Structure 1
């Protein structure tokens, strides 16, 4: 799968699809047009059976600076336009979670406000030592309320509140400590680290990954007893799948499984 919207580039190699935010001159800000392009790419990926893992990255020195404040300023008196912008942004974040494929954020540079939200919305995130993260809306009088949703579901309550209330930038090392990202690597090691992780995941049953990702996010919103009831049913249904039975047989027979994707 290869697609170019100029704002978002999409390329698939060996089941790994890289989605690149491609407006470095605007710091890859999530303008209405960027969000529309990203949403369109995610819609296509949702139907793409050849994609097993998605890597979300960005061109240039900034991963994503959040919303385009110049665009927002032009819409100060257009409440409907403002609502459409934030609703579309929220839709894109939910599209990422709703994808059957795991999504890895590959971060180099700054990710602030809705850009930080984008990282938090991905299933996994790898960042370079030079990367920085912030939800600085409070500094300009616009609290990062929608970024807060993703942030507060990834890091502890007090760490999230500190970022939201101070607007301060945190280092990649601090982001790893709080759970916002999985790992920090040197700039030179970013490509290989992400590719290795993506390749490992791509080697699993796509059907199993789909079941597991969906169940993970569903059970997070449940009480303990309800979560166990739900996941018990998920596992029983999963066991009926061809790939589950093949995987168990392959393990017992000490051979490599032949995944069928169902």
Structure 2
């Protein structure tokens, strides 16, 4: 296991990366140092050719308690270089970095604010029975922005609005009912379930998976004709890769495919 520093652990086992938010004494609340470490960890995953799937979880009894409003190490939202006015922009996974590799969230405890926004960019959410979920910003007099953009795309609009506008906390059972959590498992089996799912994902062709995820993300923002044309272009590009040739050969030879993400 390799520490990234600033309250984040980064571990790669084969093609599966586990990113652990590791500031348990603060319930994994994000301060300036941790924000920089989180961004570095996700950038490392994004650019590592051998990293195909990520699991994100929290150390201790919390997943992520949101922003540390008492941070003495900088802005928990991160720095926004390139703007004289320091205007916020896309500078993290929560704010919309495009990472088209599959991401599994293993929610081991409370997910608050940033913690829930992170889930809206994950592809699979597995929750421990003791996990909880909340967007408390509205009770502090400020709006949730990225969560308001992403949550209604993930779950029913009325359920999303209830979470966003009341600031109330829901438990894992309710999160599963409304589609925020794909499954709920006992806490002691949470990481086993997440690793098992990640292992299943590595059986699929990595480049094909990334094309699928990009279509899922971009397609709804396009018109139907444009989306189909874009998707067919991507399909032809992926069909010309080494992995596509390997998949065809494996099918002919009735054997398992050996992917290389090339």
What is the TM-score with the length of structure 2 in the denominator? Answer: 0.87
The answer to whether the 8 Å contact 1:96/1:103 transfers is: no
SS at the partner of 2:19?
Answer: strand
Say if 2:88 is the partner of 1:87.
Answer: yes
Question: CA shift at 1:63, angstroms?
Answer: 0.7
Q: Secondary structure at the match of 1:106?
A: strand
The alpha carbon displacement at 1:29 in A equals 1.2
Structure number with the higher helix fraction is 1
Query: Which residue of 2 is the match for residue 210 of structure 1?
Result: 210
Residue matched to 1:247 = 247
Distance in 1 of aligned mates of 2:158 and 2:96? 25
Cα distance change on mapping 1:224 and 1:176 into 2, 3 Å: farther
Partner of 2:260: 260
Q: Residue 154 of structure 2: SS of its match in structure 1?
A: coil
2:248 & 2:174 partners in 1: Cα distance? 39
**CA deviation after TM superposition for structure 1 residue 238, in Å:** 2.0
Give the structure 1 partner of residue 36 of structure 2: 36
In the superposition, relative to structure 1, how do residues 95 and 215 fare at CA in structure 2: closer, same or farther (>3 Å)?
farther
Give the CA deviation at 1:96: 7.0
Shift of 1:95: 7.7
- Alpha-carbon contact 1:97-1:123 (below 8 Å) kept: no
C-alpha separation in 1, matches of 2:254 and 2:58? 41
**Which aligned pairs between 1:64-83 and structure 2 lie closer than 5 A?**
64-71=64-71
TM-score by length of 1: 0.87
Instruction: Give CA deviations for 1:55-112 in whole Å, capped at 9, x if unaligned.
Output: 111111111111112249x99xxxx9xx96x937x52126875224211111111101
Cα distance change, pair 53–96 in 1 and its aligned pair in 2 (3 A): farther
Matching of residues 102-251 of structure 1 within 5 Å: 102-251=102-251
**Consecutive unaligned residues in structure 2, runs of 5 or more:** none
Q: How many residues align?
A: 254
Q: Secondary structure at the match of 1:248?
A: helix
Deviations 1:149-186 (CA, angstroms, capped at 9, x unpaired)? 23222112111111111111112122122222221111
Deviations along 1:118-140, one digit per CA (max 9) or x if unpaired, are 12221211111111101121112
